[in-house]
Amino acid sequence: MLDFCGKHNITCDIEKIGIKGIDMAYDRTVKGQVKYRFLHAIRHNLN
Per-residue pLDDT tens for 1-39?
A: 999 999 999 998 888 888 888 899 889 989 998 887 777
Q: CA–CA separation, 47 vs 37, rounded Å?
A: 23
Q: CA–CA separation, 45 vs 20, rounded Å?
A: 10
Listed residue (17, 7, 21) closest to 38, CA to CA: 17
**What pLDDT was estimated at residue 43?**
64
Q: CA–CA separation, 44 vs 23, rounded Å?
A: 18
CA distances from 29 to 9, 15, 32, 43 (A): 27, 12, 5, 23
Helix (H, G, I), strand (E, B) or coil at 40: strand
